[in-house]
Amino acid sequence: MKFEDFNFKPELAEAIKNAGFREPSPIQKEAIPMVLDGNDVIGQAHTGTGKTAAFALPILNNLKLDGSVEALIVTPTRELAMQVSDEVYRFGKELGVKSATVYGGTAYGRQIEHIKSASVVVATPGRLIDLLESKRVTIKPSVVVLDEADEMLDMGFLDDIKKIFNFVPESRQTLLFSATMSKEIKALAQKILKEPKSISITKSEVTNANIEQEFYVVHEREKDDALIRLMDFYDPNKSIIFCRMRREVDRLSTALNAQGYKCKGLHGDMSQRDREFTIKDFKKGTLDILIATDVAARGLDVNDVSHVFNYHIPFDSQSYVHRIGRTGRAGRDGVAISIVTPEEFRSLQKIQKSVGSAIVAKEVPRLDAIAEKKGNEILEDIISAKIYQNAVDMVEHLKEQFDIDTIAHKLASMVVSGSEIKGKDKIGKSFAEIDQLAQRAKSDRGGDRGRRRRPRNGDRRNNRGGRGGRGGNSGRRREN
């Protein structure tokens, strides 16, 4: 199937072609015809599946451009609101579509003026409900979209979302997209949608086949060395490193900058201005590496991320899928790398079982492997290098003093100087040691099943994992 098969307006079809879109993703194949026909839609799809275009393209095609706000798109975060607004502008500019982006932390007046001339409003729930309840704006959209509804509920916006639907017409088209379908999401959908068409992207489609997933087992004290070694080995064009906590982001950002990497951190304690500048620098390539927490990276939409690194693995499979979905987008290949400690090994196994795709064990490359890889890359660069006249003149001049072999050796030495790989040779666990961890985890699971039966008649304190103990959730409290 091609995008031409949807018979979009010529201006929209041209914008899609210029954006390099050729074949629709699974969510786009199913959602676009439904939205074009005016159906309410409930779609289960993760970030990175192309869902923004799945609702934005048919909405833009159906706009009457009558001078009123015809479409309202509600998103959980400012970043996602801006990114969706950018997509609306990119595809709708030739149609003459104007959009307004509405979120907290900026002046009301300017946003209100933009709304007055907009056909599409993209908003976060908090600021939008402020404007609607204060009657500073009145809108009557014919289509309303809730994007990443599960994120909005997780962030406590359920009441605001319900209030928003008191201010929009009953006779409307409603589209709801969510990565998960909890009881709360289903209840909300039942309340605000009318005879919706349902779309669900399967687990195999969610964990993108274009993403190669790997893990390396190291001790906690080796994590920085392992990360730097892996970045030297893979030499990613653009990468995101995920950490659990703000202090990890700040510390790692400082450490990598000291090693010469172009990186910045992204976390919830930053000002909105700093967040926007950091994301903009990352998008345009001023930064090679973004170090982020899960919350700060919500809604982050960058298509050319080649690698995702989990400096610490997330607590659940949903967060894992969201993280690795930042790479392998728009048909590109991606690599997702998890650096885990022996203590985190069982958590990784649970994630792998839940996600249903293979996460392959690897050994951290040794110094000779890095040197060989870099040497091969240098050879390829030399072989493919263009020969310039001034270089020919330079070699002729050198031939007056040295034989050709000496000249070649000197030039090659200049090329490889500064590429020496530092650090200890062996980092992390070998394949044999990882196999031992897997066997131990397997036997521990069997033991756990037996132990879980005993406390019914035994001392309940054994399972509480009290202060300094090893049971219960004490490990997680230390990590937080």
Residue 25 vs residue 220, higher pLDDT: 220
Confidence check: pLDDT of 116 > 90: yes
- Taking all residues of the chain, what is their mean pLDDT, rounded to a whole number? 86
- Cα separation, 216 vs 431, in Å, equals 10
Residue 420 maps to a domain: no
Which residue, chain included where needed, has tokens 């091609």?
2
Q: What pLDDT digit, counting tens, does each position of 141-185 carry?
A: 999 999 989 889 988 899 999 999 999 999 999 999 988 888 999
- Which range has highest mean pLDDT (44-53, 129-138, 207-216, 331-340)? 129-138
Residue 380 maps to a domain: yes
Backbone dihedral region for residue 170 (phi beyond 0: left; psi -120 to 50: alpha; all else: beta): alpha
Q: Which two tokens stand for residue 189?
A: 């959908």
Residue 255 maps to a domain: yes
User: Do 285 and 376 share a domain, yes or no?
Assistant: no
User: Do 193 and 272 share a domain, yes or no?
Assistant: no
Residue 280 vs residue 19, higher pLDDT: 280
Element (H, E) at 470: none
Least confident residue range of 81-90, 95-104, 290-299, 368-377: 290-299
Question: What pLDDT was estimated at residue 459?
Answer: 41
Number of domains the chain is built from: 3
- Cα separation, 289 vs 285, in Å, equals 9
In the DSSP assignment, the letter for residue 436 is H
Say which amino acid occupies 202. Answer: T
Residue 455 maps to a domain: no
> Average pLDDT of 285-308?
85
Least confident residue range of 13-22, 64-73, 220-229, 304-313: 13-22
Q: Please state the φ and ψ torsions of residue 201, each to the nearest 5 degrees.
A: -80, 130
Confidence check: pLDDT of 461 > 50: no
Question: What pLDDT was estimated at residue 416?
Answer: 82
Residue 106 vs residue 8, higher pLDDT: 8
Backbone dihedral region for residue 282 (phi beyond 0: left; psi -120 to 50: alpha; all else: beta): alpha
Confidence check: pLDDT of 39 > 90: yes
Grouping H, G, I as helix, E, B as strand and the rest as coil, residue 178 is: strand
User: Do 321 and 251 share a domain, yes or no?
Assistant: yes
Which residue, chain included where needed, has tokens 């103990």?
469
Q: Please state the φ and ψ torsions of residue 214, each to the nearest 5 degrees.
A: -135, 160
User: Do 247 and 372 share a domain, yes or no?
Assistant: no
> Average pLDDT of 457-475?
38
User: Do 157 and 294 share a domain, yes or no?
Assistant: no
- Rg over CA atoms, the chain: 26
User: Do 253 and 126 share a domain, yes or no?
Assistant: no
Residue 473 maps to a domain: no
Residue 200 maps to a domain: yes
Confidence check: pLDDT of 280 > 70: yes
Q: pLDDT-derived band of residue 299, with 50, 70 and 90 as boundaries? A: low
Question: What pLDDT was estimated at residue 46?
Answer: 67
Distance of CA 264 to the CA centre of its chain: 16
Confidence check: pLDDT of 410 > 50: yes
Q: What pLDDT digit, counting tens, does each position of 444-456 carry?
A: 654 444 443 444 4
Torsion 231-233-234-235 (CA) sign: positive
User: Do 339 and 395 share a domain, yes or no?
Assistant: no
Question: What pLDDT was estimated at residue 472?
Answer: 39
User: Do 335 and 199 share a domain, yes or no?
Assistant: no
* Residue 257: CB atoms within 10 Å: 15
Backbone dihedral region for residue 465 (phi beyond 0: left; psi -120 to 50: alpha; all else: beta): left
pTM: 0.57
Grouping H, G, I as helix, E, B as strand and the rest as coil, residue 86 is: helix
Q: Where among 151, 170, 205 does a domain terminate? A: 205
Confidence check: pLDDT of 102 > 80: yes
Q: Where among 178, 205, 232 does a domain terminate? A: 205
Q: Where among 172, 205, 238 does a domain terminate? A: 205
Q: Which domain does 378 fall in, by range?
A: 368-410
Question: What pLDDT was estimated at residue 417?
Answer: 77
Residue 338 maps to a domain: yes
Question: What pLDDT was estimated at residue 201?
Answer: 77
User: Do 38 and 162 share a domain, yes or no?
Assistant: yes
Q: Please state the φ and ψ torsions of residue 114, each to the nearest 5 degrees.
A: -65, -40
- The rounded percent of the chain whose pLDDT value lies above 70 is 88
User: Do 190 and 166 share a domain, yes or no?
Assistant: yes
Cα distances (angstroms) measured from residue 353 to each of 3, 54, 317, 434: 35, 29, 9, 17
- Cα separation, 201 vs 215, in Å, equals 25
- Cα separation, 227 vs 150, in Å, equals 32
- Cα separation, 41 vs 145, in Å, equals 9
User: Do 354 and 227 share a domain, yes or no?
Assistant: yes
Q: Which two tokens stand for residue 448?
A: 């756990």
Confidence check: pLDDT of 464 > 60: no
- Cα separation, 112 vs 135, in Å, equals 11
Q: pLDDT-derived band of residue 467, with 50, 70 and 90 as boundaries? A: very low
- Which residues are CB-contacts of 450 (< 8 A; sequence separation ≥ 6)? none
- Sheet with 173-178, strands from edge to edge, namely 99-102, 120-123, 71-74, 143-146, 173-178, 41-44, 197-200
Q: pLDDT-derived band of residue 121, with 50, 70 and 90 as boundaries? A: very high
- Cα separation, 416 vs 409, in Å, equals 11
Q: What pLDDT digit, counting tens, does each position of 4-14 carry?
A: 999 999 999 99
Question: What pLDDT was estimated at residue 167?
Answer: 97
Cα distances (angstroms) measured from residue 275 to each of 79, 255, 271, 290: 9, 20, 6, 11
Q: pLDDT-derived band of residue 373, with 50, 70 and 90 as boundaries? A: confident
**Residue 251: which CATH number?**
3.40.50.300
- Cα separation, 46 vs 44, in Å, equals 7
Least confident residue range of 98-112, 341-355, 441-455: 441-455
Q: pLDDT-derived band of residue 352, with 50, 70 and 90 as boundaries? A: confident
27 with 147: CB under 8 angstroms? no
Distance of CA 51 to the CA centre of its chain: 14
Residue 350 vs residue 259, higher pLDDT: 259
User: Do 172 and 293 share a domain, yes or no?
Assistant: no
73-110 burial code (b ≥16 CB/10 A, e <16): bbbbbbbbbbbbbbbbeebbeebebbbbbbbeeeeeee
Q: Residue 121 class from Cβ within 10 Å (0-12 exposed, 13-18 middle, 19+ buried)? A: buried
- Cα separation, 326 vs 302, in Å, equals 7
